[in-house]
Structure 1
Amino acid sequence: MLDDDQLAARNAELRGTLDNLMRELKDRTDGLRDAQAAIAAMSGVASSPDGNVVVTVDSTGVLDKLELGPRAFERVTPEQLAQTITQVTRRAAANVREQVTAQMAPLTSEEGMVDLPDIVPGAPSLKDIFKVEQRDEPAPPSDEDFGSSVLRKEARPVQRAASEPDDDDFGGNSIMGRRDSW
C-alpha cells in the first residue's frame, strides 16, 4: 500500500501530466482555429498548357472562376474543351489540397503529443480528433495528359440543320391559339 508521501507524489505527477495534456489540447485547438481561417482564404489555380483555360477553385475544390482565353473556341470541339476544363479543374483542386495538407501538417503531427489513453487506460484517443482523412482522388493530370494544344489543326465551321424549327414555332398548331373547346 502507498503511504501519503507516495500518493501525493503520484497525484502531483498525474496533475502535471493532465496540465500538459490540457495545454497541448488548447494549443492545438488554437492552431486549428487559425489554420481553418487560413484554409478558408486559400484557392487553387491551374491553367492549360496553351493558357486558353484558367481555373480557380476555393479551399474545398469547388469551381470559383473559369477563364477562357480568346482562342479557346477556335479549332476545338466541345468535347475537347470540356475535357481540358475538367483536367485543369482537377489540377487546381489538387493544388489547393496540397496547400491544405501543408497548413494542417503541424497540427496533425503526433510527435510528442500526450494522449488521454496514456493517462487513463481505455479512454478515447485525442489524436483521432486531429487526424485529416485523405480521400482517394484520381491523380491530377500532367501537362502530357493534355497532349498538344487543345486547338484543332483546322477550323471547321459549325453547321446547323436548315430544317430546325424555332423553339417556339409549333407550326400554327399551338393549343394557345385554338378557339375551340377542349
Structure 2
Amino acid sequence: MTDPGSLAGQAGQLVEQASFLSDRARRRLEALRSTRESALASTGEASTPDGSVRATVDAGGMLTALVLTPAALQQNPRRLAAAVLQVAQQAASSARAGVRQAYTRLENEGLVKHMPLLLPEVSVAPPAPAPAPVRRRPVEEDEEFGGPVMKDQGW
C-alpha cells in the first residue's frame, strides 16, 4: 500500500507545479496584453525636408493627420501628390517599426512564433502617374456619300 506521507508529498509537489505554471501563464498573458497595447499605440510621423508636408499614421498605417503648409500648396499638383505619398509611406514605415519593436522581445523569448502580419517596407515612392491622354472625338467620314448623312444640312 502507498504511504500517506508519500502521497501528501506528491500532492504538495503537484500543487507547487500547478502554482508555478499558473503564475507563468499569468505573466505571459500580461506580457502579451501589454505588448499588444504598446503596439496599437505605435504611431509614425514623417515630413518633407523643408517641413511643408507632414503626415501622421496609426499602428496600422492609416493616415490620421496631414499638414500642408502654404508653400506646399504652391507646388505643382503632381509634385505635391508625390510628396504626400512619400511622406505617408515613410510615416507608415515608422509605425510598422514601432510594432516590430514591441513584439521583438516576445519573439526572442519564444512567447510568439511570428510577428503580426505587417506590410512590406517601402524603399522608394512609386513614380508619379503619367498624365492622362487627351481624348478627342473621332471624326466620322462616310466614304460612300462624301460626309455624314444625318447632319442638319440641306439636301
TM range (shorter): 0.5 to 0.7
- Distance 1:17-1:80 versus aligned 2 partners, 3 A rule: farther
- Please give the per-residue CA displacement for 1:110-164, whole angstroms capped at 9, x wherever unaligned: 35xxxxxxxxxxxxxxx55x632343514344xxx6xxxxxxxxxxxxxxxxxxx
- Counterpart of 1:51 in structure 2: which amino acid? G
1:12 positional shift: 7.3
Give TM-score scaled by structure 2 length.
0.61
Q: Alignment identity in percent?
A: 29
Residue from 122, 147, 150 that aligns with 1:139: 122
TM-score (norm 1): 0.53
Distance in 1 separating the partners of 2:38 and 2:116? 19
CA distance in 1, matches of 2:118, 2:43: 19
2: CA distance between counterparts of 1:25 and 1:131?
19
- Structure 1 residues 41, 133: closer, same or farther in 2, change over 3 A? closer
Runs of 4+ in structure 1 displaced over 3 angstroms? 3-22, 133-136
How many positions carry a matched residue from both structures? 124
Larger Rg: 2
Task: Give CA deviations for 1:56-77 in whole Å, capped at 9, x if unaligned.
Answer: 011221100000011002242x
Distance, in Å, in 1 between the alignment partners of 2:41 and 2:27 is 22
Unaligned 5+ residue runs, structure 1? 112-126, 146-182
Question: RCO higher in 1 or 2 (8 Å CA, sep ≥ 6)?
Answer: 1
The aligned residue for residue 166 of structure 1 is: none
